Structure 1
Amino acid sequence: MYPTMSGVEIESYRDRFVRHLSQTVPGRKEFVVAEARGCTVTTADGRSYLDMTSGIGVANVGHCHPRVVEAIQAQAARYAHVNVYGRFVVPEQVELVERLTGAAGAGFDMAYLTSSGAESTECAMKLARKHTGRPKFVAFERAYHGRTLGALSVSWREEWRAPFEPLLDEVMFVPYDSLTAAAAAVDDRTAAVIVEPIQGEGGIRVPSDDFLPGLRELCDATGALLIVDEVQGGMGRSGRWFAHQHTDVRPDIITMAKAVGGGLPLGAVLASAELFATFVDPPLSHLTTMGGNPVACAAGIAAFDVIADGLLDRVVEAGEYLRTGLAALCDEFAGLLVDVRGRGLWCAIELSVDANPVVARMQQLGVLVGSVLNQSGTVRIMPPLVISDAEIDTFVGVLRTVLGEVAS
């Protein structure tokens, strides 16, 4: 692709971005985006990058999937926004929620639509507190559930929690994948246990097979609710609609966002009609202005249907192919690449060195990967679910080059 801006225009946008957009990471941004399609992001100076991040788990069906684009255009031509909660029936909301609850299975009658993962967490926490009348939450070390005050209260990293304290009073963090520690924490004051079925920002950590079933038993024994955070793991990322479906556990509440909207801001909280009835007494116990925006819902319907058309099987196949390539590198660079883990197209490699220089060097060579917030040696790999074997080969080849440079 040819450049879409001159060098002067590019530098102007980089300068103006820093000047006018509040950021929480210092410094100028690496490049100016011009276009994104499929698994490729193209910059304004004409360079192309293989995107192995999906915009941090958002572009599960790829950037600008034709069916998603068509749905957005058609819906925007009809109406972009109306009162989305409380007064009108929005057909796009109905169509989307029927799909999501159907994928979640028995016991999930309803959904509350939101705009983001943090908003979904807040809704789920309010629902759990109000339904149980209890004040306490149990969460896990290395957990991440968002940065709003409630979500931050159940997110683990003290560095980001401390400046905003006091947060919610009764939150206990216990080691992930430890039923013994969880059993000591969950009691008759616990409103809910909130858990990622596979930890995302904790390093793409897959727990033992008995972990989620054990949490379900603890919650049943104490009357606490089980909230499963599927913000990163939902919409087919692990090879199932939801990552917790690799077990036979049925949570009480599921939170979603990221890939739900096919690239537009959209999230959801799934639960039973009985649980959601608690928001009706008193009426308007929870509200949203933009959650369930019709254009975002139309995009979400299209994205869901793309995944439903056989893409889950492809995720399993492509994930095995990807991990086979990564395992070969693990043998080749023993001592540097120390672990490969994940499910479906949600993988991580663990390095014996800081991951950030590796991430930066791969970007220089045309591949976008990411680190994670709560584990310094982890490289996050979560490409669009439509990635081809040839694109996986390209990624593995670039990673081999960069690891070779580090090793030497």
Structure 2
Amino acid sequence: MLNSLEPSATMTDEELESYRDRFAAHLSQTVPGRKELVVSAADACTLRSADGRVYLDMTSGIAVANVGHSRPEVVEAVQRQMSRYAHVNVYGRFVIPEQVEMAERLSRAAGGELSTAYLTSSGAESTECALKLARKYTGRPKFVAMERAYHGRTFGALSVSWREQWRAPFEPLLPEVEFVPFDDLEAAAAAIDERTAAVIVEPIQGEGGIRVPSDGFLPGLRELCDRSGALLICDEVQGGMGRAGAWFSHQLWGVQPDIVTCAKAVGGGLPLGAVLARPEVFQTFLEPALSHLTTMGGNPVACAAGIAAFDVIEREGLVDRSARVGEYLRERLESVRGQFPDLLTDIRGRGLWCAFELSVPAQQVADAMQERGVLVGSVLNSEGTIRVTPPLVITPAEIDVFIGVLRTVLGRLA
């Protein structure tokens, strides 16, 4: 396999078993089962386990490692910042240059009037901030969200996430949330009214199965929001930082949201997110002062990592590369579908944000591919879907390795 990691063990069998046992004993789990893979190192598009096996990572840690694992520029930026200071009061008292540099880059990438950023630590925290901001700015109580949507697991984010299985145990959640089918403007028009604070949408649904809408959907939502006075929130937590072949996936349709949420790849591997909006929208958090706060959002070390990652994407043209190499990835997947049409039934995506649909359980295929040295993932709200989100630096040769393993696995199933 193509990689920059040597396939050598870093732990004995006894040490491996000890970590597995201690992991089960002391780390709370929401997914049952014993963990087999103990991570030792990761570099570029590869990951090494402590028993010496090397894997091609086609997940990027769920669309986080867009510039690749352990990117040298990011590592150096983190080391430099740690030697200066790791954390100070990040909101309310001091000017932190790393925050300014990060916010300016995000605003430049977003374009238009989205010139102000509120920095967070995660996607769910960004969602919470966006929902509060929309409610306070409009004075309205209602949200419209999409079926198959996923925006996080905190109370507000869970309220606008679709799957009843995960919402029901924690109800009552936020009132007045209405779900409509994704890519259905008629249903959206019926739901958006004078009580709607915001429509929240993933321009391309992530956990819903990497579902790309028809070309009129996002512009139509923009028009419906303008007509009703509701805000349009675009969730770019997975779709940002070049993943879909644009800095943010909503830009593929030329739409300007009122609020954008992002995280995952923003921090170059460290926890960092942001909410972007017009200055007058954020002004509402000053009335009263301290209407919204964070302790760790915009942490200087995470910002330093994010600045370095952003600059790599910009300098190396990884946004355009994502679109170009993504086309090659889908072409290769189409060749597999031609060979196994009964097993691989659909292919979706933009850029290096891709999914394929199976007629067999997705986890079965993901497990078989992992046994053969390739990491892929399933999604939360679309059974039978395999997600493919490699680092944006992946090479065509590495894609060919992935395709070869997929052919082998489907061939055995056939």
Q: Give the TM-score band, short-chain normalised.
A: over 0.9
- 2:344 aligned with 1:337: yes
Which of the numbers 27, 31, 43 marks the counterpart of 1:37?
A: 43
In the alignment, which residue of structure 1 is the partner of 2:28?
Answer: 22
Amino acid at match of 2:89: N
* Paired residues for 1:245-284 under 5 Å: 245-284=251-290
Counterpart AA for 1:221: R
Residue equivalent to 2:319:
312
**Matches of 1:366 and 1:278 in 2, distance apart?**
50
What secondary structure sits across from 1:376 in the alignment? coil
1:369 aligned residue: 376
Alignment RMSD (CA, Å): 0.5
Q: Offset of 1:109 from its aligned partner?
A: 1.5
Q: What is the 5 A alignment of 1:173-252?
A: 173-252=179-258
Answering whether residue 404 of structure 2 is matched by residue 397 of structure 1, we say yes
Using the alignment, how far apart are the partners of 1:264 and 1:29 within structure 2? 23
Superposed CA deviations along residues 238-261 of structure 1, whole A, max 9, x for unmatched, are 110000000111000000000000
| Contact residue 181 and residue 187 of structure 2 kept, 8 A | yes
CA distance in 2, matches of 1:378, 1:339: 9
What letter corresponds to residue 325 of structure 1 in structure 2?
Answer: R
- Cα offsets for 1:230-285 (capped at 9, x unmatched): 00000000110000000111000000000000000000000010000000000000
8 Å Cα contact 1:351/1:377 also seen in 2 = yes
Residue 121 of structure 1: aligned partner: 127
Unaligned 5+ residue runs, structure 2?
1-6
Deviations 1:336-386 (A, max 9, x none): 111111000000000112111000000000000000001111000000000
User: Corresponding residue for 2:353?
Assistant: 346
303, 308, 319: which one aligns with 1:297: 303
1:406 to 404, 407, 413: 413
| Number of residue-to-residue matches in the alignment | 407
Q: Give 1:178 deviation, angstroms.
A: 0.1
Alpha-carbon offset, residue 316 of structure 1: 1.4
Specify which of 55, 70, 93 is matched with residue 99 of structure 2. Answer: 93
- Note if contact 1:18-1:27 (Cα within 8 Å) is conserved in structure 2: no
The normalised TM-score by structure 2 is: 0.98
Q: Among residues 109, 133, 146, which one is paired with 2:115 in the alignment?
A: 109
Check conservation: 1:371, 1:378, Cα contact below 8 A.
Answer: yes
Counterpart amino acid of residue 398 in structure 2: E
Q: Residue 286 of structure 1 is aligned with which of 286, 292, 305? A: 292
Whichever residue aligns with residue 375 of structure 2, its letter is L
Aligned pair partner of 2:8 in 2, 5, 8: 2
Segments of 4+ in structure 1 off by > 6 A? none
Task: Give the Cα separation in 2 of the matches to 1:405 and 1:382.
Answer: 24
CA distance in 1, matches of 2:388, 2:36: 20
Question: Conserved in 2, the CA contact under 8 Å of 1:256 and 1:267?
Answer: yes
1:198, distance to aligned residue in structure 2 (A) = 0.2
SS of equivalent residue, structure 2 residue 334: helix
Q: Please state how far the C-alpha of 1:27 moved relative to its aligned partner.
A: 1.7
Asked if the contact 2:241–2:319 (Cα under 8 Å) also holds between the matched residues in 1, the reply is no
Aligned to 1:357: 364
Is the contact between residue 225 and residue 252 of structure 1 (CA under 8 Å) also seen in structure 2?
yes
Listed one character per residue, the Cα deviations across residues 154-175 of structure 1 (whole Å, up to 9, x for unaligned) are: 0000000000000011000000
1:382 to 361, 377, 389: 389
Q: Kindly indicate whether residue 183 of structure 2 is the aligned counterpart of residue 172 of structure 1.
A: no
Distance (whole Å) between structure 2 residues aligned to residue 30 and residue 382 of structure 1: 22
Superposed displacement of residue 95, structure 1: 0.4
How far does the alpha carbon of each residue in 1:183-237 deviate from its partner, in whole angstroms, 9 at most, with x for none?
0000000000000000000000000000000000110000000000000000000
Given candidates 136, 155, 165, the residue that maps to 2:161 is 155
SS for the counterpart of 1:375 is: coil
**Identity among equivalent pairs (%):** 74
Partner of residue 4, structure 2: none
Q: What CA distance in whole angstroms lies between the structure 1 residues aligned with 2:95 and 2:16? A: 44
Give yes or no for contact 2:360–2:384 (8 Å, CA) kept in 1. yes
Alpha-carbon distance between aligned partners in 1 of 2:398 and 2:85, rounded to the nearest angstrom: 38
> Residue 77 of structure 2 aligns with which residue?
71
Q: CA deviation at 1:315?
A: 1.0
What TM-score, normalized to structure 1?
Answer: 0.99
**Separation (CA, whole Å) in 1 of partners of 2:9 and 2:395:** 26
Q: Which moved more, 1:21-30 or 1:3-12?
A: 21-30
Shift of 1:398: 0.3
The residue identity in structure 1 corresponding to 2:253 is T
